[in-house]
Every structure is written in structure tokens, then in C-alpha cells.
A and B are shown apart, each in its own frame.
Chain A
Amino acid sequence: MTDTATEPSRETSLKGSRGGAAGDKVFSGLALAAGIIILLVLAFVAVFLVIEALPALWPTVFSEQDSIESADTFWQYVWPLMAGTLIASIIAIIIATPVAIGIALYISHYAPRSIATPVGYVIDLLAAIPSVVFGAWGMSVLAGAMVPIYGWLHDYLGWIPLFGGSASTTGRTLLTSAVVLAVMILPIITSLCREIFLQTPKLHEEAALALGSTRWEMIKMTVFPFARAGIISSIMLGLGRALGETMAVTLVLSGGPFSWSLISSGANQTIPSEIALNFPEAFGMRQSELIAAGLMLFIITLVVNMLARWIVSRHKEFSGAN
């Protein structure tokens, strides 16, 4: 086009060369294709997991066997695992949430700027540590440190079923796993909450302070009402992460059948950990069982995550989260 720029022939028509117009089509097509691939991948995740899980879900129809290997029915096999997964994750959430909200408030409303930034870095650092390292730490450092606490819980609170049973002497229990999970999801909840707290309209905060309220009253009056939906959805996202976390549980927990006791070794197991422990050696029906268990985990986390997104999108107009 530039070569013709000075030539008189250019004057003739607007409908000259459309050089490069094909490039536009090709490129927008590529971009669209990439988007479609993502949707396909997600659909494939569901479809392929279902295909591979079917023999375990309906053994009489989709396999030559009458029942699965590890139990009479798939549900009998999977419910203790689901219970273990949920209990560990919910305890982790209960431990992590107050601390995370505290740190988020510390960064957004308490610490001076010169401290808040490094603290943010430290939290990011915590998020960057690989899960296997957390697992190793939980197994060799935290588990040992928890033993006296378990003894104490057993002696004084043993009448509560959660602290019943025999106290572990190695500390490798579901509760220790839950603590490791709490440490791992702490940075996620913290950084999400921090974002939301920082979005509180400055005008509201200043109005509250101008009325003579203390800092805590200001936070109670302006920050929390504003951030409620955001906090709930951050907790849900943290829960989603805790449900799917594998290594922290696999390395820490010495698993077994379901038990209400959180402080005994050789009790309880979670889905991801069950898969990681058994999948490498599994084949045939056992493999299907594990994939079916994975499918259950997928469904649970999907529901939790969609719920979180739904809460955010419902409150988007005034929370500004996302």
C-alpha cells in the first residue's frame, strides 16, 4: 500500500486491494478456536471421567464383574472417603477463615503501608510453596508437635466423639491434615479478602470515622457489610482448594476406615489421598473405582466453586469483587 501511496493510480477507487484482510479472518478464527478448545476440554473432563468411571458405578452393566473390588457397592466404598474429605476441609476452613480475615484486615486497614506490602509478599510466598513440601513438613514437624495436644484433648475433651478413640502417638491424624490444609488455603482466602476489603469505598470509611467511630466500629459499619458476599465466596473458593488438595493429606494422614475420632491414627481417608496412594498400582476395576471417586470429587468441587462464583456475580454490583 505504501509503494502505491505516491502513484496517481491510487486515486481511482476505495475498493482497491484488501491485502491482509484474510489475516484478520484467520486470526479471529484462531482466537475463537482457542476459546472453543477450553470449553471442549472441560466437557471432555466430565465425559472421559464418566466413561472411565462407569464400570465402577454400574458394575453389572458396564463390566464383567458383579460388584466392585473394595466394597459391595460403589457408594459403600466412596461415602467414608467423601466424609473424610469434607470433614478435613471444613475443619481447615474453620481454622483458616478467622486468621485469613484477620491478616487481610491487618494488610488493608491496620498495618502502615511500609509493613503491609512486605506482609503481602510473605503471604504470596506462603502460596508459592509446593504442596509436597507442606506435606513433608506436616509429616515430620507438625505431626510430632501435635501429639501432646492430642493427649490433652483426649484427657480433657475425650467425651466429645470428635476427640474420642485412642489418641495418636505419631500425630498423623485427620486433624493434623486439616491444620496443614488450613495453612495451605490461608493465603488464598487472605489475598481474596484483602482485594475486597481494599475496595470498600473510601467515602463510606471516612464518613464513619468523621462520626467519631473507632477503627473497629468503622470496619464493622462499612467494611464488613460491603464485603460480606466477597468473604463468603473467598471461603468457598478456599474450601474448593482444600477439597482437592492431595499431598498434604497423603503424606500426613495414616488413613483407615471412617471414624468420628479426629485424633486417632489409622482412621479416615480423603478422596484425593486415596487416589494418589492407590492409583499408581491400580488397574482394571480398581482403576475405575478410583476414577469414579475422582468424579465425585470433581462434582463436589464444581458445586462449591459454582456456588462461590454465583454469590460473587449476584453481589457484583455493590461488592466489586472479582
Chain B
Amino acid sequence: MSKRIDAVDLNVYYGNFLAVEGVNINIEPRSVTAFIGPSGCGKTTFLRTINRMHEVLPGARAEGRLLLDGENIYDPGVDPVTVRTMVGMVFQRPNPFPTMSIRDNILAGYKLNGTRMSKSTADGIVEKSLRGANLWEEVKDRLDKPGSGLSGGQQQRLCIARSIAVEPDVILMDEPCSALDPISTLAIEDLINELKDNYTVVIVTHNMQQAARVADKTAFFNIAGTGKPGKLIEYDETSVIFNNPSNKQTEDYVSGRFG
């Protein structure tokens, strides 16, 4: 189920602008990896290259190699759609489809692709995914209500359930708790801890405590100045990054002395 991710000399461009430069990173399967760093340092940009979502923006492209279990997703002939079925993504703001019920939101990955399935298979997927996202008990009686009627935290767990419903190998999360209150954040963090039993989880966060709480390993990205490319500064066990970083920039950032 779970796959390892290796980036080799990965550069990301927006048009002619080099946004992220020379990322080399090895992410283990069945682990949680957090990307931290100041705004605009390219952590989200790099995250989006892992499932080729950056290509949705006009002019964005990546150079170098990004290996999923040793297979380069940037090989010519690879369909980004195939990559995205293997690498799911959860976004900053919860974004359930407003025209669909909770049940249809979970099945969106199948329904939108026109896959036919029996009702029992579908029910199985819905229950399994919602249980996987710790949401089943809360919504099992209103599966036919619109997903937009849920609270923010529930909506975000619905989005996580939606992405695990298509059984990906990797789940990317782009600041999944930044729009949520502390209690909902806690629920999501608990969920992330459970998810790593089955998936490779990569999470971008602005909240260093969150990174310390959920991540096995942490990567620190930084940017030298406006207009300069973002770089991966340090990547290590979370405890090392927060307690004993080897790089001065990392130390300044995690200790709050960043300027």
C-alpha cells in the first residue's frame, strides 16, 4: 500500500522563475514527514510536485526526478492523472463538493471517473473510508445530507476520507489544520497518527508544535530573500530538528529567533 518517495535534484519553475531549487529528500513509507519553513519558502510548491498538482497552474514545471518506489513520475509518457490516483492530497481549506451529499463526496473519486459499482461495494467503501477518517460515528445517520453542512473540522476529515477512499499510497496534506479550531486540529492530528499505519503521509505546516507532535521526520525549507529560490536546508528526525539541529538557520527558525 505505502510507497517511499525520493526526490533527486528537483527544481520547480513558475515560468522562468525558479521557485524551488535542488531538493534531495528520501521519505520512508509508513511515516509522517512534516515540511516547515517561513512563508514563500517553497514547501507547498514542492509538496504539489509530488503528485504533479503544480501543473494545474499555468507555466509551472518541474525538472529533475521524483521517484515513487523507484519509478520516476516525471518520465515522459507518465500520465499525471495516474500519479494523482496514487498520491492523494488534502488542502488548506476544507473543500467538499457543494453539489454532492456526504456519501457522494466519499465516492467522488470513483463517481467523477465514471466507475460503476454495486451499492454494497459503494457502501463498504463509504463506511471504511469514514471510519478511517474517524468520521463514521458522527455522520452515519446523515450520509445523504450535503457535505457543506458539516463543521469545518468535520469537512476536513470528510476530505481526508474522500482521498483515502480511492486507496492511494501517499497522502499529501497542505496545512490541513490552518483553517480549523484547536479541537478539530487535535482530531486531525490523531487521525494523521493512525493514517501512518497504512500510508506515507507528508504534511506542510506553519505550526511547529504540530510538526513536533505528529511528524517522525521534519524537513526545514528556507529562502534567502525575495526573488530567490526556496531550498531544503535540513532534513532529519523531528527530535533532532527541534532539539539539536545542525544548521544555524534551522536553529534560528525553530527557536523563534528567525528574522
Contacts and interface: CB of A to CB of B under 8 A. Distances in A.
Interface of A: 1-3, 5-6, 11, 13-18, 20-21
A7 to B, nearest CB: 11
A20 B113 contact: yes
Interface string B149-166: 000000000000000001
B82 interface: yes
Nearest to A11: B69
A16 to B, nearest CB: 6
27 contacts: A1-B85, A2-B110, A2-B115, A2-B117, A2-B166, A3-B115, A5-B166, A5-B167, A6-B167, A11-B69, A13-B71, A14-B68, A14-B71, A14-B79, A14-B82, A14-B83, A14-B86, A15-B77, A15-B78, A15-B79, A15-B82, A16-B82, A18-B79, A20-B81, A20-B114, A21-B79, A21-B81
Closest 6 CB pairs of A and B: A2-B115, A14-B78, A18-B79, A5-B167, A14-B71, A2-B110
Given A14-B78, A14-B83, A15-B77, A1 B71 contact: no
A67 B31 CA distance: 89
Contacts of A11: 69
Contacts of A5: 166-167
B138 to A, nearest CB: 26
Interface string B105-140: 000001001110100000000000000000000000
B115 to A, nearest CB: 5
A17 B110 CA distance: 16
Contacts of B202: none
Interface residues of B, number: 20
B231 to A, nearest CB: 27
A15 B68 CA distance: 13
Contacts of B73: 14
Contacts of A6: 167
A15 B71 CA distance: 10
Interface of B: 68-69, 71, 73, 75, 77-79, 81-83, 85-86, 110, 113-115, 117, 166-167
A21 B113 CA distance: 11
Contacts of B69: 11
Contacts of B115: 1-3
Nearest to B71: A14
Nearest to A24: B81
Contacts of B167: 5-6
A268 to B, nearest CB: 54
Contacts of A2: 110, 113, 115, 117, 166
Contacts of A17: 82
Contacts of B117: 2
A2 B168 CA distance: 11
A13 B72 CA distance: 10
Nearest to A17: B82
A17 B114 CA distance: 15
Contacts of A21: 79, 81
Q: For A3, A15, A17, which residue has the most chain B Cβ atoms within 10 angstroms?
A: A15
Given A13-B71, A14-B68, A1 B113 contact: yes
Given A5-B166, A5-B167, A15-B79, 12 more contacts: A1-B115, A2-B110, A2-B113, A2-B166, A14-B68, A14-B75, A14-B83, A15-B82, A17-B82, A18-B82, A21-B79, A21-B81
A235 B81 CA distance: 49
A16 B86 CA distance: 12
Contacts of A14: 68, 71, 73, 75, 78-79, 82-83, 86
A1 B113 CA distance: 9
A14 to B, nearest CB: 5
B77 to A, nearest CB: 5
Contacts of B83: 14
Contacts of B114: 20
